Structure 1
Amino acid sequence: MIEELEQHYGYLFEEELLHEINQVGTFKEVPEGYRLMDIGEYIKSMPLLVSGVIKILREDDNGDELLLYFLERGDTCAMTLNCCVGTKKSEIRAIAETPAKLIMVPVQKMEEWMRKYHSWRNFILQSYHARLKEMLETIDTIAFMKMDERLLKHLRDKAMVKNDEVITTTHQEIAHDLHTSRVVISRLLKTLENEGKIELGRNSIKVIDL
């Protein structure tokens, strides 16, 4: 695990902190679709993402989901940090968008390292800032963009985080992420294809207009 830490977090953390993470952290490898965290659970550890992509979702009273943001390599989740500090139940759902490797750090170390390591404190504060910015962007997208614009942005974001112009997904999965119906998504996807911005395949979408 120390090799993964040095490779992906060595430029951020002091060597002493890297060794502490190696001692107390737990390495975890999960497949695509794996549910890492669910709404209502108490959080016992926070993730440091080594590889892969994790999507963070919220849920309304009817059980419908809304995608908040993606986590990529080198990221952690601000919503997780918030629950860790306040010893509260999780308000988000975290699902592996791709196969992923993570290092799970016990929450008890959070405040200790905030006091002990300048690099850890900076990392946590920058993570809060980055995730807040992404959530504000999500709010702006919902408030100010038409659904076809939201859909194209969503497809571009997925292609970028996966580093692949071809996305493997279903219309229903996209509808869940964007909090709308499959019928609406299917109609808008066909429109985007007719405009030459995407190519539709069987459970796949190629994003041409990146």
Structure 2
Amino acid sequence: MIQELTEGYGHIFEKALINDIIQVGTFKEIPAGHKMMEIGEFVKSMPLLISGAIKVLREDQDGDELLLYYLEKGDTCSMTMACCMGQHRSQIRAIAEVDSKLIMVPIAKMEEWTSKYKSWRNFIFESYHNRINELLSTIDSIAFYQMDERLIQYLKEKARVNKENIIKNTHQEIAYDLHTSRVVISRLLKKLEQMGRIELHRNYLEIIDL
């Protein structure tokens, strides 16, 4: 944990803070597809992502999901922090997109470190800034983009996060993430295939030219 924490956050945090995190943090390895946080749960610690990627989703009153953003190496989740500080129940669902490693930091240390370490305070503010920008991008996508544009944007981001052009999600899973129907997604994917931009296979699709 020490080496991975130093490699991931040593350029952000001072040595004393790194040592404090080592003292109280809990190292976890999360397999792809594992649900790390559920809507309605109380949040007892916040994650520092060492490697991998976590997708963060919201759910409407009908149980349909919407992908908000991804957390990657060097990130933490501002929504988790807000729930921690206010002792509120989680309003998001977090699922490992790929095999991931992270360190869970107890909420009791968050306020202490905010006043004690300038690097931690800057990290928290930067995280809020980044997540707000990502949420605004999601809102813009829903408000101003057609579904075919949103799908292309989604596939590009998925490929970037997974570091490969193979997307192993089903049409239904993609529909869940984009808060639409499987029929719509299947139709648009078929159209992209006819344009030569993707290739559809039985259990996956391959990006050719997006």
TM-score (norm 2): 0.98
RMSD: 0.8
Show the counterpart of 1:69.
69
Mind listing any 5+ residue stretches in structure 2 that lack a counterpart?
none
**Secondary structure of 1:169 counterpart:** coil
Number of equivalent positions: 210
Task: Supply the AA of the counterpart residue of 2:109.
Answer: K
- Deviations along 1:104-141, whole A, 9 cap, x unmatched? 00011111000000000000000000010000000000
In the other structure, the counterpart of 1:205 is 205
**For the residues of structure 2 that align with 1:116 and 1:66, how far apart are their CA atoms?**
37
Distance 1:202 1:124 in 2: 43
| 2:46 paired residue number | 46
Aligned counterparts of 2:77 and 2:98: Cα–Cα separation in 1: 16
Q: Give the 4+ runs in structure 1 shifted more than 2 A.
A: none
SS of corresponding position for 2:95: strand
How far is 1:30 from its partner?
A: 1.0
Task: Give deviations 1:21-48, integer Å, cap 9, x for gaps.
Answer: 0110000001111010010000000000
1:145 is matched with which residue? 145
Alignment of 1:1-210 (within 5 A): 1-210=1-210
> What CA distance in whole angstroms lies between the structure 1 residues aligned with 2:121 and 2:202?
46
Query: Alpha-carbon deviation of 1:89?
Result: 0.5
User: Which secondary structure does the structure 2 equivalent of 1:98 belong to?
Assistant: coil
- SS of the residue corresponding to residue 13 of structure 1 reads coil
- Where structure 1 has 5 or more consecutive residues not aligned to the other structure, the ranges are none
Percent identity, aligned pairs only, is 64
Following the alignment from structure 1 to structure 2, what is the Cα–Cα distance between the partners of residues 118 and 165?
39
**Aligned partners of 1:19, 1:110: CA distance in 2, in Å?**
15
**Counterpart AA for 1:200:** L
Residue 200 (structure 1) shift: 1.3
